[in-house]
Amino acid sequence: MPHVLGDRGDIVGAIFGYPLTVSRPEGPTNKILWVSKVSDPPGDLVIEAKLDASDTSATRRVTGGPGPSIIDLPQPGCWHLTLTWPGHTDTMDLIYR
């Protein structure tokens, strides 16, 4: 299973829609299952994404906290993500084709 571990090791993104892409003929479905290392109090997972070497950014929210999601981003490239959920913050890079 393709996955990315957060830099602090507090969260894993299991990538079901591998490879992550900006557009697909059948529509974008970048399925990512977010799994937190510890049980979390209720609250959303907020993802602040910034495209490497640019001013392009995007914010995504996973209602209810880490869990299943579709995370589509607007341009291909390497995206630096800052993930915040109740009591935790972690970072990771994801590549979108």
Please state the rounded mean pLDDT for residues 66-84: 96
pLDDT in tens, 5-64: 999 999 999 999 889 999 777 766 899 999 999 876 789 999 999 999 999 999 999 999
HEC secondary structure over the chain: CCEEECCCCCEEEEECCCCCCCCCCCCCCCEEEEEECCCCCCCCEEEEEEECCCCCEEEEEECCCCCEEECCCCCCEEEEEEEEECCEEEEEEEEEC
Question: What is the structure's pLDDT at 15?
Answer: 96
CA 36 to chain centre: 12
Please state the rounded mean pLDDT for residues 70-79: 95
Question: What is the structure's pLDDT at 25?
Answer: 72
In this prediction the pTM is 0.92
Question: What is the structure's pLDDT at 71?
Answer: 95
For domain 3-96, the CATH architecture is Sandwich (2.60)
